[in-house]
Each structure stands twice: as structure tokens, then as C-alpha cells.
Chain A
Amino acid sequence: EVQLVESGGGLVQPGGSLKLSCAASGFSFNDSAMHWVRQASGKGLEWLGRIRGKANNYATAYAASLKGRFTISRDDSKNTAYLQMNSLETEDTALYYCTRHGTFTSPFDYWGQGTLVTVSS
């Protein structure tokens, strides 16, 4: 069974940092690109970025709106993807999801339950 479990969310002050984790199981993590998507309250889904697997040199891509503040990484030995968020702003308050895109699967066919990040003083 495919499972994605996010963790690491919480309350952080503006300007602060937070690192989210996405623990994966039930599929070939090494071969999958891992994406992060967020939803702010009352807003739509926003794609943040992705990291591909070793076969694609762990290539990353990000939404331009993040202005370089977020970094995605992965540890294939732990089947875990990460989202490092720096210089957080109140507008980053949202539910953060990780999702996958496997080599032979549709994009975003499985999602985690999400982890809530609140940026507030």
C-alpha cells in the first residue's frame, strides 16, 4: 500500500525556518519524483516544486513565486523527501502536502494527509 506521511509542521515566526519531511512506503521511492503542493485556507492548490530520482540526477524545480526560499531534498536510504523553508512569511501559512510521480504512474496519484504550517508572530 502506498503511503506518504508528512511531518514537521507547526507554528513559526515570520522570518523563521522550518523543515518538513515526507516519509514514503509501499512503492519504489528511488524511481519516483517527489513533489510538494500547498493549500492556504480559502485558496487553491499551489505547486511548490519537485525533486526527481537518482536516474535523473536528483533534478529540482521550483515555483518562481518562492523566490529561492524553499529547497527540496531527498534521502533515498530513508525513503524520505524534505522541504526546507526559510524566510517564512505569513502568506506561507498553509497545509503542505507531498505527492509522488512514479516512472509508470500518473502524476500525484497518491498524497499524504498534509502538515499544517502557521507563520505568525
Chain B
Amino acid sequence: DIVMTQTPLSLSVTPGQPASISCKSSQSLLYSDGKTYLFWYLLKPGQPPQLLIYEVSNRFSGVPDRFSGSGSGTDFTLKISRVEAEDVGVYYCMQNIQLPRTFGQGTKVEIK
């Protein structure tokens, strides 16, 4: 199975400040079609998970542009340029290149 490792596991951020989450996979997520199958999800309290970023760097519909994703191969990063109160929750990376689908452990983002 592909192991997804996120760091840090928790973040406390002042509103308006940036935040960054790292996700590393135990195998390359680059597929033969040229796409890299790394996704980011946010689990807010009391809500189902929501897709933020697909294929490393593409924002899903309705996702604010303060969210951005980058990376390649096995190393990926989710950045929030200016954290807002509504961004609190647990962020997960997930690989979709191989079964079983696997998630990172999650990174809990809190507001200071």
C-alpha cells in the first residue's frame, strides 16, 4: 500500500497569516498518462469532507484562490496564503493512483 505522510499534524495560525502542509507518498504518484494523482480534502467540524485540490495543483470548483497546491512525484504541499477563520478543520492528502486509496494522517488547523 502507498503510505501518505503529512507534516505537521497540527497547526495554530493567526488569521491573515500563511500556512503550509506537507504530504509525502511512499511511491511516485505520477501515472503513465502524465497526471499526478494527489488530492487534498478538508474535513470541517460537523461537515463531510470537501475536495479542495485535485491532481496536485487544480482548485476544485468554488475553492478560494488562497488555497494552492504544488509538488511532484512523492513530495507535495498545500498552502493557504492568508488563513481565515472558516479554514479550521483537518486537512488530508490522498492518493488515487493505486488501490487501496490511502489518506495521510490529517493535519489539524486551528486559529490562534
Contacts and interface: CB of A to CB of B under 8 A. Distances in A.
B48 A107 contact: no
Contact of A47 (B48, B51, B101): B101
Interface string B70-112: 0000000000000000000010101010011111111000000
Interface size class on chain B is: 20 to 34
Q: Is the interface of A mostly helix, strand, loop or mixed?
A: strand
A97 B48 contact: yes
A39 B39 contact: no
Interface residues of A, number: 24
Contacts of A44: 90, 92, 103-106
3 smallest A-B Cβ distances: which pairs?
Answer: A111-B48, A106-B54, A47-B101
Interface of B: 1, 39, 41, 43, 48-51, 54-55, 60, 90, 92, 94, 96, 99-106
Given A45-B94, A108-B51, A113-B48, 14 more contacts: A35-B101, A44-B103, A44-B104, A45-B49, A45-B106, A47-B100, A50-B101, A61-B100, A63-B100, A97-B49, A106-B39, A107-B96, A109-B54, A112-B48
